[in-house]
Amino acid sequence: MPDIETWTPEDDALVRQALGSLRADSDTVELADPFLIRSRGDGRRRRTLLGWTAGAAAAAIVAATVGYAAMGRDGATPVPPATSTATAPAPTTGSEGLLATPSVLPLGAEWQQRLGLRTTPVVQAQPAYEGNLCQTLEPGTRAEAQRVVADPARPDETFLGVQTRYTFATEQMAVAGAETLAKGIASCAAPVSPTPRVDPRGGAREGERFWSYTKDGETGWLGLAQSGRSVAWLEVGAGTDAGRATTEVDMAGLVSIARERLRRYATTAGPKPGITAPPPKALDEDMPVVGVEPLIPSTLFVAASQWASPVLTGGQRSYAGPGAQEGSASIVQCETEEFQAGVGGRYGIVSVRAGSGDANYIGKQRVRLFEDVQAYELVQADIERLDQLVMKGCTDPAGNTTTARRGPVKGTYLLTTKVTAEATGTQYQWVGVTGQQTEGAVSTIVFHGTGDGQGFTGTAEEGFTELQRLMDLAAQK
């Protein structure tokens, strides 16, 4: 090997010239648009990475060869290959192995495996649930609401999708609840416009359905899975890495995983400690109904006897009373006659008492029935209208101010009224609104309490749980 001391200024100039030429060539290459790069699938990204790595390695070899040649190195001496940082491979755990991990909804690793994501996303609780993509009617009780994100420290920027589970008193109700959600998806307004997809693995599968939709020019996916008394809603967001990577086969597989998880794990979930489980079947009772003629039958209302519970009525018997409305349809604080005048359909109201005596009304239920070809859309509009009304709050002519907050389940609210005129104190009203099994029927349930211990005296959480129990019963009607 020649002595390294033979290096001369001429050698240095040769190396500089070679490197300068290589730089000039690379500067003329136009970089691809970032959006196009992100839109490529994992396979294309891997091929691109390998191509750039090979190019970088080749450039390194050229530079090294020129340098070493100028230094008098032996050209036959092997040159060490350039190193590159490769993306970590996806988990090798099979789908059956992942299913062994208890969870009623798909794991982050299952999202990664089914949708071909490069990294494992994180499944976390949805801190402020504002309804699903289509703002459809949500039947049953929302048991879990989760979001799927790539980086839990930046959930909004790395959002990938949503998964939600609804529970029902019976399996028959769950099947009907899945159909209600499917109708909502079918009527989802433009520009979303979901399109039903067929499972490419071989036709329709019982309890499994999915759709693709377009939002802002990008594709997203929706899926429903039903098993037993539970329904899972799956949403892969448009404009996300997951949405761009997902195919029909991928979404069909994710829905199948969701249904299998419901089958394995949802049946083991029991009622919350200290809370009475909802009855398996809503009962019918002959009760006095006030409202618009012809009166709505009492069979569309929750049986007054089923209002009773250790939490809501203190264990006392509950029954229906006459409850005169004097021609008014208002039962929710902030509802005015002007507000009610803009709502169509027939309505009926049942008032419920607890214990003995004539003045111990604890709550009311209003059923509004839209007998129209667009009944489903009218039910949704009524639910949305009530939401906007109560969340806006109000002040009555006497100066008493009412504010509201949403409960853990869509359609549930706690209204707080600060009484300052003629008396002082605080009044509370729990409000729940839900669609019913009867097409075009929407039910509003209210019960009340005061700051000095009258009416319902439970905690806010217990109040919302009782609302959900009554709403489950109303949804069966």
pLDDT of residue 219: 93
Q: Could you tell me if 146 and 298 are in contact, meaning their C-beta atoms sit under 8 angstroms apart?
A: no
Residue 89 has pLDDT above 70, yes or no: no
Question: Nearest to residue 351, comparing CAs of 343, 359, 361?
Answer: 361
For residue range 52-74, list pLDDT tens digits in order.
Answer: 333 444 333 333 333 433 333 33
For residue range 161-195, list pLDDT tens digits in order.
Answer: 999 999 987 788 888 889 888 888 888 766 678 99
Q: Is the pTM of this model over 0.85?
A: no
What the block records as the tokens of 161 is: 């999708």
Cα Rg, the chain, nearest whole Å: 32
Residue 443 has pLDDT above 80, yes or no: yes
Q: Could you tell me if 223 and 234 are in contact, meaning their C-beta atoms sit under 8 angstroms apart?
A: yes
What the block records as the tokens of 106 is: 């798909």
- Residue labelled with tokens 């450039």: 59
> What is the share, in percent, of the chain residues with pLDDT greater than 70?
71
Question: Nearest to residue 153, comparing CAs of 130, 112, 121?
Answer: 121
* Residue ranges covered by each domain of the chain: 4-70, 95-268, 290-475
Domains 95-268 and 290-475 share a fold: yes
Sign for the CA dihedral angle at 280, 285, 288, 292 comes to positive
Burial classification of residue 136, based on how many CB atoms lie within 10 Å of its CB (0-12 exposed, 13-18 middle, 19 or more buried): buried
Around Cβ 331, how many Cβ atoms within 10 Å?
20
Q: Which CATH class is domain 95-268?
A: alpha beta
Around Cβ 117, how many Cβ atoms within 10 Å?
22
How far is Cα 302 from Cα 437, in angstroms, rounded to an integer? 12
Question: Nearest to residue 306, comparing CAs of 292, 294, 317?
Answer: 317
Task: Answer whether the bond into residue 194 is a cis peptide, omega within 30°.
Answer: no
pLDDT of residue 250: 94
How far lies 125's CA from each of 146, 327, 369, in Å? 4, 44, 35
Topology (CATH level 3) of domain 290-475: Protein Transport Mog1p; Chain A (3.40.1000)
Confidence bin at 21 (pLDDT 50/70/90): low
- Average of per-residue pLDDT values in the chain: 76
Could you give the maximum distance between any two Cα atoms of the chain, in Å?
113
Residue 40 has pLDDT above 60, yes or no: no
- Residue labelled with tokens 């209600």: 180
Angle at 346 between CA 407 and CA 303, to 5 degrees: 55
What own/partner pairs with CB < 8 Å and gap ≥ 24 does 419-423 have? 422/398
Question: What residue type is assigned to position 17 of the chain?
Answer: Q
